[in-house]
Chain A
């Protein structure tokens, strides 16, 4: 299969492109996990929500992607917030696993609300499809590059927020030690809401990027969600840079699947990545605490 270095470079590049689409939902997942300490499986539903919100803005109202993407963030963030306040928050005292199970149900609920409203038909964004650029036999698609750009901007925005704002410091404080943060006057509930809004919003952006690159239906989020979880675990649950790195590892791993196993086993490679990481570095590549 691999004939020269170009083929390998191409697979790596494809992996990075695929990984950058997984990156935002994975960061969103870890963002919620870092503060609330439960795996929010509804991230798939939030991603589909974002994909549909962006589609309505773009294909129905003619908004450009640059405007539709923030809308996808906003709508998915609000849906995540609503889900958290209405369904998950009351369950938090019952333990993280109860919330996790409720979030699985939430994904199914969101999928069917979207199915009820939009039906099952595939829908495409109203965007021209551009040809690949070629450099010495290696192909790269300008649109996918642009999507990667959007993902990096969104992720970078989150890094800036966490690193340099009061809110970000408060979030990190709660993530590190909620009790201590509470003593210092940080309202953990407010921080939790912010984390859920940002996490859901990023998942929504990720879902929209998937939608731009493919087409959308109520199962859009479901198709990527296992890879997203793998990315989050591989990078380290709760670690935001970890999620970004994990997404790249899983993205490259899945594209490599064709070389190692068979393209029919893409998801299996993601799972193998999880197992390998858990056996040798259970906290994930960049996860600090366990």
Chain B
């Protein structure tokens, strides 16, 4: 019995501690009353290789905006939670950000499952959600304009990429896809486009992402006598596949999404393996000063596509709030399209954008991930794609179309 009472007291103390930490969080909010935005990147789990850089990119934008005076003089705070690449943890994290931190916008969700799980919380609470998730179904949700997706939908991406490959002479493309929400839709689009262009999808394998050996899968690629292989996966598995393809002596074109082989791949694979790897990603205009300035802003680290996109998420949310004159979710939602499409002056960073808006000028934000123009569903449109080839441990831009 004695032990029981101690146990209960311990539990009560624990609960009290928990409550008091809640209280601290609440008070801090009340005193300074900054505008709060929420970030929900994956810091653990399968998205772990991507989340930390994404968070840094968002924090960078917020810092820049704060040194530029914030939103109408109000400082900005970026609250973040780890979604653990798991919709269950993601929902609890989003609850905390929305209900406790009272965030006015949520950004940087990565896994499609997490985005779909937290989306209803966002539109119920009138919080716009900026995401990099790839599943086409996300923008089909009844979100009343609250979702902005900077990752082009798979139809647009795969159609563009397949046409580009056809133009480069690809006739037999092997589709190697990690099991994901867009594996099958990618396959459908690829088959259609290849057939129309006089080629064929020479093989289609869906593999398990969390595995460490893919030799038999690579044998299937080798047997298919393909001139191109499309690696539709993520960094850990694509790294292994590139290594296996090199070992097997695959001499065709290796083509993948830039997020599956960001510049960090040069640190894990020797150059002879990566040389010739072609990647593509949505991109801003290369000749604009914006792009060079952006690269400089990111310093020596190459900008990976997800970081570029969340950089734009944070910038758009801040500029939209400034434009609307009020940092509430609804105002941000209604003003995103005003600051990133139209005839306004082109800006590529939050500092210039805030200055111009303060001066009463119209702006048209063109971000690190592209022109950031959204259709009525919240999907990105009219973006160009940048094709790059790996050479000697760095990417060289092939073209932008």
Q: Do A and B make up one complex?
A: yes
Given A129-B272, A129-B273 in contact, is the A255-B216 Cβ separation under 8 Å? yes
Nearest CB on A from B389, distance (A): 19
Residues of B within 8 A of A136 (CB): none
Task: Pick the interface stretch among A14-22, A151-159, A195-203, A276-284.
Answer: A14-22
Instruction: Kindly supply a per-residue 1/0 record for chain A positions 122-165, scoring 1 wherever the CB is within 8 Å of any chain B CB and 0 otherwise.
Output: 11100011111000000101010000000000000000000000
Q: How far is the CA of A233 from the CA of B369 in the complex (A)?
A: 49
Question: Is B217 located at the chain interface by the 8 A CB criterion?
Answer: yes
Contact call A120/B269, Cβ cutoff below 8 A: no
Contact call A123/B268, Cβ cutoff below 8 A: yes
Q: How far is the CA of A217 from the CA of B216 in the complex (A)?
A: 24
Q: How far is the CA of A3 from the CA of B225 in the complex (A)?
A: 14
Q: Which of A7, A119, A131, A262 contacts B52 (CB 8 A)?
A: A119
**Nearest residue, chain A, Cβ from B43:** A120
Q: How far is the CA of A99 from the CA of B237 in the complex (A)?
A: 33
Q: How far is the CA of A217 from the CA of B44 in the complex (A)?
A: 11
Near A by CB (< 8 A), chain B positions 227-254 give 235-236, 239-240, 243, 246-249
Nearest CB on A from B85, distance (A): 10
Contact call A10/B219, Cβ cutoff below 8 A: yes
Question: Is A1 located at the chain interface by the 8 A CB criterion?
Answer: yes
Contact call B215/A255, Cβ cutoff below 8 A: yes
Task: Pick the interface stretch among A69-77, A167-175, A208-216.
Answer: A208-216
Contact call A132/B268, Cβ cutoff below 8 A: no
Contact call B249/A132, Cβ cutoff below 8 A: yes
Nearest CB on A from B274, distance (A): 10
Near A by CB (< 8 A), chain B positions 29-54 give 43-46, 48-49, 51-52
Contact call B269/A266, Cβ cutoff below 8 A: no
Nearest CB on A from B45, distance (A): 8
Q: Which of A18, A115, A124 contacts B215 (CB 8 A)?
A: A18
Q: Which of B207, B223, B246 contacts A263 (CB 8 A)?
A: B207
Question: Is A224 located at the chain interface by the 8 A CB criterion?
Answer: yes
Nearest CB on A from B345, distance (A): 38
Question: Is B75 located at the chain interface by the 8 A CB criterion?
Answer: no
Question: Is A86 located at the chain interface by the 8 A CB criterion?
Answer: no
Residues of A within 8 A of B235 (CB): 122
Question: Is B264 located at the chain interface by the 8 A CB criterion?
Answer: yes
Residues of B within 8 A of A141 (CB): 247
Contact call B52/A120, Cβ cutoff below 8 A: yes
Residues of B within 8 A of A11 (CB): 216, 219
**Nearest residue, chain A, Cβ from B240:** A214
Q: How far is the CA of A264 from the CA of B219 in the complex (A)?
A: 15
Residues of B within 8 A of A264 (CB): 179, 206-208
Contact call A219/B48, Cβ cutoff below 8 A: yes
Residues of A within 8 A of B214 (CB): 263
Q: Which of A120, A259, A263 contacts B208 (CB 8 A)?
A: A263
Residues of B within 8 A of A131 (CB): 246-247, 249
Contact call B206/A263, Cβ cutoff below 8 A: yes
Q: Which of A119, A224, A256 contacts B212 (CB 8 A)?
A: A224
Near A by CB (< 8 A), chain B positions 179-210 give 179, 205-208, 210
Q: How far is the CA of A112 from the CA of B51 in the complex (A)?
A: 16
Contact call A17/B216, Cβ cutoff below 8 A: no
Contact call A258/B220, Cβ cutoff below 8 A: yes
Residues of A within 8 A of B208 (CB): 263-267
Q: How far is the CA of A149 from the CA of B243 in the complex (A)?
A: 20
Given A18-B215, A120-B49, A213-B213 in contact, is the A129-B243 Cβ separation under 8 Å? yes
Question: Is B270 located at the chain interface by the 8 A CB criterion?
Answer: yes
**Nearest residue, chain A, Cβ from B244:** A141
Contact call B268/A129, Cβ cutoff below 8 A: no
Residues of B within 8 A of A21 (CB): 212-213
Question: Is A190 located at the chain interface by the 8 A CB criterion?
Answer: no
Given A258-B205, A258-B220, A264-B208 in contact, is the A217-B246 Cβ separation under 8 Å? no
Contact call A123/B267, Cβ cutoff below 8 A: yes
Instruction: Kindly supply a per-residue 1/0 record for chain A positions 182-197, scoring 1 wherever the CB is within 8 Å of any chain B CB and 0 otherwise.
Output: 0000000000000000
Nearest CB on A from B260, distance (A): 12
Question: Is B211 located at the chain interface by the 8 A CB criterion?
Answer: yes
Contact call A258/B216, Cβ cutoff below 8 A: yes
Residues of B within 8 A of A218 (CB): 48
Q: How far is the CA of A157 from the CA of B236 in the complex (A)?
A: 33
Nearest CB on B from A78, distance (A): 25
Nearest CB on A from B214, distance (A): 8
Nearest CB on A from B176, distance (A): 10
Q: Which of A1, A124, A217, A267 contacts B48 (CB 8 A)?
A: A217
**Nearest residue, chain B, Cβ from A141:** B247
Nearest CB on A from B110, distance (A): 12
**Nearest residue, chain A, Cβ from B242:** A129
Q: How far is the CA of A18 from the CA of B214 in the complex (A)?
A: 9
Residues of A within 8 A of B240 (CB): 214-215
Q: Which of B207, B239, B270, B272 contacts A122 (CB 8 A)?
A: B239
Residues of B within 8 A of A10 (CB): 216, 219
Residues of B within 8 A of A262 (CB): 206
Residues of B within 8 A of A256 (CB): 216
**Nearest residue, chain B, Cβ from A215:** B268
**Nearest residue, chain B, Cβ from A14:** B215
Sample (8) of A-B pairs whose CB atoms are under 8 Å apart: A3-B223, A10-B216, A21-B212, A122-B264, A128-B270, A129-B246, A131-B247, A220-B212
Nearest first, the 8 A-B pairs at minimum CB distance are A124-B268, A120-B48, A14-B215, A263-B207, A18-B213, A255-B216, A215-B268, A264-B206
Interface residues in chain B, defined as those with a beta carbon under 8 Å from any beta carbon in chain A = 43-46, 48-49, 51-52, 179, 205-208, 210-217, 219-220, 223, 235-236, 239-240, 243, 246-249, 264, 267-270, 272-273
